[in-house]
Every structure is written in C-alpha cells, then in structure tokens.
Amino acid sequence: MSIPRLGVNIDHVATLRQQRGEIYPSIEKAASIVLENGADQITIHLREDRRHIQDADVPLVKKITDQFKKPLNFEMGCHPEMIEKALEINPAWVCLVPEKREERTTEGGLDLKSPENFARVKEAVGRLRSDEIMVSLFIESDKESLERANDLGVEAVEIHTGDYAKDFLLGNDYSKHLESFYLAKEYLDKYEIGCHAGHGLTDLSTEVLLKNKLFVEYNIGHWIIAEAVFDGVGPVTKNLANLFELHPLEL
C-alpha cells in the first residue's frame, strides 16, 4: 500500500501579495507551513506574464523544498526563457502547461495534436530531460493526447481535472469524467507513466477521486488558499493530508 502524493500549489499566496505590490504574505512561509503539515511537494507556476510567482520567488521556494527534502514541481510554458530558468533552478519536476495571457487561469491541457505544438513540447522535453529533470505534461484525458505524451517519453502526465471539478461543484453528473480518468489510468499504467491530477479540485471532489484510486499524485492550490482565509493554511493542508492517508493505493 502507498499513499497518493499531495502537491500544494502556492501560486495564490503570491497572487494576494502582487495585488497590492507588498512584500507579504511570504511565499517562503507558505511553503514551509504546508510542508510542515503533510504536503509531499510544492508546486509553483512561473508564468510568462508574471501575474503571481516572480523570478525571485523560485530560488527561495527551492531552498525551502531542499531543506525539507521534498520535491519542487515547477510549472511553466514551453518558452525558451522558461526552459533556461528550469535548467538553472534544477527542480525535481517540470510540468509543462499551456499559457495564454488573456486567460484567468489555465483553461485546458496542452494541445499535442497540433504538429507545431508537439514539436515545441518535444524540444522542451528533450532539453529538460537531458539535464535529468523529470517531466510531466498537463493534458486532457483523451486517448490521442495520452498517446502523444507517451511518444515524448515523459515520466508522468497531469490530467486536467477542471471540467470534472466544475461539474462536481455544480451538482452535475460527473460519471463521464470518472470513466475518462479510468481509461487514462489504464493506459498510463500499461506504459508505467505516472498518472497525476490537477486543476479546480476541492477536498470533496478530491475525495471522490481518492476513493476510486485514480491518481498517484494530486496538485491542489486555489481551494487550499481560499479555505486558508477561514481556517489557516496549516490546518487546511493537514486535514487534506489526513484525507489522503484514509485512501491508500493498492499496489
């Protein structure tokens, strides 16, 4: 038996800081608190538009994860600038994600079906893996996207759970999403590719996925920071980590 990994995305601590251009709340303190309370890794996304995490934040967070001997999962677009940043920082993981300046948040998975996009992702993956950085791709759970990810030889994919999470919150039927996730898991397990999940998840929508033994890693951010307004980031993280303990994977 093993426990699914909980990655905590602390981008929105930086969002709050950047809203007023202050030096608080501290991104370092946030990273330390969530790791002290059961998180298995820290996730941060350095966007090209720098809307939340800033360049100076990245080495500070990396220092904290190194102190706790936990991985840093560095989300980024396939921009040459970001590839250079990743090679400089040397995080345990890079998760390649799509970016559009006009979007409020990441709106979907990488488009690996476009030959042009596939070539860009392939180049990024090659450069990162040549430096022994493990790579995951943020993609949809459809078969073609999974096959393209497999062609790239990445260590993991992170399935976009945003549509599932939205239907869950609205009380809609989400069975089609679970079916899609099962099929994705079956395919990825066959090729020994890590099956990760992320985007829009709350404690309740995550619990359904945990009960169904669908993913080995979950990256959750916005809900944790939102709930922290009422209960504190430490207790919210600890309660979520305890939930993970209740639903071990069957190996």
State the virtual CA torsion across 34, 171, 160, 204 in degrees, nearest 10. Answer: 20
Under DSSP, the state recorded for 86 is H
Task: Name the burial class of residue 67, with classes exposed (0-12), middle (13-18) and buried (19+) by CB atoms within 10 angstroms of its CB.
Answer: exposed
Phi, psi of 69 (to 5 degrees): 55, 45
Q: Are 136 and 93 in contact (CB under 8 A)?
A: yes
Report strand pairing: 194-198 vs 217-220.
Answer: parallel
Question: How many CB atoms within 10 Å of residue 59?
Answer: 11
**Pairwise CA distance, residues 66 & 204, whole Å:** 31
| Residues 46/75, Cβ–Cβ less than 8 Å | yes
Q: 135 in helix, strand or coil?
A: strand
| DSSP label at residue 74 | E
Catalytic residues: 45, 75, 199
Query: What is the radius of gyration, based on Cα positions, of the chain?
Result: 17
Rounded to whole angstroms, the Cα distance separating 155 from 176 reads 26
Cα–Cα dist 100/82, whole Å: 15
